[in-house]
Amino acid sequence: MKACTTISRDSLLSCGACMGKFTKSGKFRLHITALDYLSQYAQYKVWVKPSAEMSFLYGNNVSKSGLARITESTPQYAGVVVYSLADIPLGFGVAAQETDVCKDLEPSANVVLHQADVGEYLRGMEDDMY
């Protein structure tokens, strides 16, 4: 931020990390670049099994069979940060079910609905290259 002070306001377009953008309807959509900041302060977390990591990184939802752990008392439709078992943040999404309901679900039922992942950042870079 200090480096930005040397540039005049008229010439400066942006400064810092991109957290997201506003849609045409006025809603704010988080980008994956906000993951480092979200993971530090996340109230609700989900850990996925190694077999489900790649599926999530390709943009799929997390099913109960891929769920390793979930924060207690996670409400339905709450924002969650998705971690690997090694505590590496992989992305974020929305809890499709409450924690209590997850125990009784069938293995193919969705637990976390995908919103963004670190693979998305790489896929976006790939699209820009070609």
Lowest mean pLDDT among 28-37, 63-72, 75-84: 28-37
Please list, residue by residue across 3-17, b when 16 or more beta carbons sit within 10 angstroms of its beta carbon and e when fewer do. eeeeeeeeeeeeeee
Token duo for residue 96? 């499709």
The pLDDT assigned to 17 comes to 78
Q: What is the DSSP letter of 9?
A: T
Q: Is the pLDDT of residue 125 over 60?
A: no
What integer is the mean pLDDT of 21-25? 90
Confidence of residue 128 (pLDDT cuts 50, 70, 90): very low
How far apart are alpha carbons 123 and 105 in whole angstroms? 32
In the chain, the amino acid numbered 3 is: A
The pLDDT assigned to 124 comes to 66
What integer is the mean pLDDT of 24-45? 89
